[in-house]
Chains A and B, each alone.
Chain A
Amino acid sequence: MFSRKTLDRVNEMMKDWEKEVEEVYVKKLKFGSPQYTSESGIPINYVYSPEDVKDSEPEMPGAFPYTRGNRALGYQYMPWMIQLLHGYGTGEETRDRTKYLIREGMKGYGETPAVLFAVDTPTHCGFDPDNPKARGMVGLGGVNISTLDDIHTLLKDYDLPNTRVADNIRFTCLPFLAMYVVYAEGRGHRPEELNGQSQNGLGNRCLTTNLPSPTPDAQYRLEIELIKYSCQNIKRWNHTNLCGYVFGEMNITPTQELGIVLSKAVDLVEGGIKAGLKPDEFVPRFSSQVHLGMDFFEEIAKLRAWRRMWAKIMKERFGCKDPRSLQYRIHVHTAGSSLTSQQPLNNIARATLQVLACVLGGVQSMHTNSYDEAIGLPSEEAVRTAIRINQIVLHETGIPHVTDPMGGSYYLESLTNKVEEEAEKVRAEIESKGGYFECIKNGWLRQLLEKQSIKWRQEVDSGERIVVGLNKFKIEEKEEVPAFTIYQPEIEAEITERLERWRANRNNTEVKDSLERVKEAMSNYDTVEKAGILMPALIDAARAKCTLGEMMEAIVEVSGGRIYST
């Protein structure tokens, strides 16, 4: 990027600088010269120069490998989507929260409303609310969904083709999608009119929460099934959210997150090809949920490296030609694990820095955490403030006026290269051990995650890692921010009663027969090459008014897996 002459001059200047540091700071002022490293362990210098980026190729936004952004124009043309994951209690309560968020500024691209809802754990795992295993958890941490009626309660006010419906569901996304397709059908819409996304990240979630889930082999097949179905039937559906967030929440480093997610993407693209799809048919519809922690510059570098590595893998390894296959669209979820319940207003400062990093990194979409999320469900005031952070950055600061404003920074460009190098090492290591799904099966990934979360705790306890308000700058907390809570037993009773009525108003012979056909399809679906045979059976089951739990139970009965131990 620089002429030999410039680099020679830089080296001269660098020598002067080093001399001054050595003579003034180290010798005279006894400066201890600490060696800083990034969160991922990359050594960080005190200053960067053209020498550090001399081998980098010049790049522009909108051109391969898209380090500087997917499109020629960034936020000047299209601001990022402000999407907040939300949900609790009954469909009515969640619907009210959705409306509140939309009123305050949550939206998809253009004027499309976004309904990005969280579900409770029984729904994640596929236990209907009347199942004893669901006791005490119905409506906590998300809305409960077991029937088409529950979906109706949530979405009845929206024009489905013009609404981004994004369910944040762990293991039951396939039965949920079947139910959503049938629900939309009842409102007169064909699947191809729909718009939204599935999580389709069973593997991630069993690794990071260790909740009851199907076996890794079955997880892989279920994910490929969803990719094939949506790719052939719902063109606008983002079939798979390549979620790194959940790994970040277990204190995985930014380069590990990137390496792990890319290893998963490789497994899924290979699976899609085996299932008979061409990469350009389904690669453009991968979406993402990237974790964004507190290491400001490394996180920006990660976002830039992410786009570059994705573009290279999809082009060079899988021969993708469609530019959309090469352009990685990034949705970020700011790190919940960076929040403290101590002095909770400090979390607004944390979220602001994270939003800034996202904007400097050129993301397409963002969930910003509320300051009270370390205490409980976020209150209306807290989610509004989270939205306002975005609006302040967008409208008051001028930051979005320039695309990739960090581009050309010696430090950021050098760090982007380093992050790419380190993440590639992680990806290659996982591949050498058989790939992402194999590393779920053999326990390697779970061990890494456990090691990393324990490491964080030890660093905090020893004071090596400073968390403001938690292990340093503590105060006597006088008044705590009140936790926003719901009266769960009442909600659980109400939801269970609704399910009883649902079960009483259907043809139970049809239910039984259609569930048998789900089991049959699942047993026939023993390799990804046969993808495409399970979803039609699930759609029929949804038409027969089967519940989410019944469909999931039918799947797991065949697939096996780690199930609740009694």
Chain B
Amino acid sequence: MGKDQRKEKMKVLMARFSLDGHDRGLLSIMSSFRDAGIEVVYIYFSDPKELAKVAEEEDADVIGLTSSMGQHLYIASTLLNALNERRINAPVIIGGVIPTRDVPQLIDMGIKKVFGPGSAPRDAIDFVYGLSS
């Protein structure tokens, strides 16, 4: 048995709230999470406050964002603010087309991990399971 099976069931909330149609990465990562035994809750376009509410109700272990059109700084800060208002501490990760030069700013803001172009699904799975150990 691989180490994945030994962990408790982790739950990831995947969310879209900016109008970005690029969902191929999102589809792939959700499929990989499920294959790795991680529960995925997917929220179709919604507003950040609504997302924070769902994150609380679902008691998500991780919140995943996607950005492929350059809106990463905006959506990261908006969601983190909405989560802070509800005092939700679940780590937020972000994937997509994100220039390397913006990574330090995202991390400073409170994003736990950035999965830029070329990241493999395995990296994100390891991150999620790393939280539960």
Contact = CB atoms under 8 A, between A and B. Distances in A.
Interface of A: 121-122, 124-125, 127, 132-137, 140-141, 205, 208-212, 249-251, 337, 340-342, 374-377, 450, 453-454, 456-457, 461, 470, 480, 482-483, 485-486, 488-489, 562, 564-566
A180 B131 CA distance: 54
Contact of A480 (B22, B47, B70, B100): B100
Nearest to B29: A457
A224 B22 CA distance: 27
Contact of A211 (B21, B43, B121): B21
Interface in B106-120: 116-118, 120
Contacts of A562: 44
B24 A470 contact: no
A374 B25 CA distance: 13
B19 A566 contact: no
Interface in B26-56: 27-28, 31-32, 43-47, 50
Interface residues of B, number: 33
Given A141-B69, A209-B23, A453-B27, 17 more contacts: A121-B19, A133-B19, A135-B74, A135-B78, A136-B18, A136-B74, A136-B78, A137-B18, A205-B21, A208-B21, A341-B97, A376-B97, A454-B31, A480-B99, A480-B101, A486-B70, A565-B43
**Smallest CB-CB A-B distances: 8 pairs:** A209-B21, A341-B117, A121-B19, A136-B74, A457-B28, A483-B99, A453-B24, A140-B69
Interface of B: 18-24, 27-28, 31-32, 43-47, 50, 69-71, 74-75, 78, 97, 99-101, 116-118, 120-122
B71 A137 contact: yes
B118 A341 contact: yes
A37 B78 CA distance: 47
B118 A209 contact: no
A137 B24 CA distance: 19
A443 to B, nearest CB: 14
Nearest to A562: B44
A565 B20 contact: no
Contact of B21 (A121, A375, A456, A480): A121
A140 B117 contact: no
Given A209-B22, A342-B117, A461-B120, A454 B28 contact: yes
Contact of A565 (B22, B50, B100, B121): B50
A381 B114 CA distance: 28
Given A121-B69, A480-B99, A210 B122 contact: no
Nearest to B51: A566
A480 B98 CA distance: 12
12 contacts: A121-B21, A122-B19, A124-B21, A127-B19, A135-B74, A140-B70, A211-B19, A211-B21, A341-B116, A375-B97, A376-B97, A488-B71
Given A121-B69, A140-B70, A140-B71, A566 B46 contact: yes
Most buried by B among A122, A205, A341, A456: A341
The main secondary structure of chain A at its interface with chain B is loop
Given A375-B97, A461-B122, A565-B45, A488 B74 contact: yes
Nearest to A565: B46
Most buried by B among A457, A482, A562, A564: A457
A480 B118 CA distance: 13
A412 B15 CA distance: 45
Contacts of B116: 341
A374 B18 CA distance: 20
Nearest to A212: B45
B32 A457 contact: yes
A210 B23 contact: yes
A341 B121 CA distance: 17
Nearest to B70: A140
A211 B68 CA distance: 14
Contacts of A377: 70
Contact of B20 (A121, A250, A488, A489): A121
Given A450-B27, A483-B101, A457 B121 contact: yes
Given A457-B121, A565-B50, A566-B47, A136 B97 contact: no
Given A457-B32, A565-B44, A137 B27 contact: no
Contacts of B120: 461
A489 B70 contact: no
Given A121-B69, A137-B19, A454-B31, A564 B46 contact: yes
A149 B22 CA distance: 29
Contacts of A375: 97, 99, 117
B19 A489 contact: no
A5 B112 CA distance: 73
Contacts of B100: 480
A132 B74 CA distance: 13
Nearest to B71: A136
Contact of B99 (A132, A135, A485): A485
A106 B109 CA distance: 42
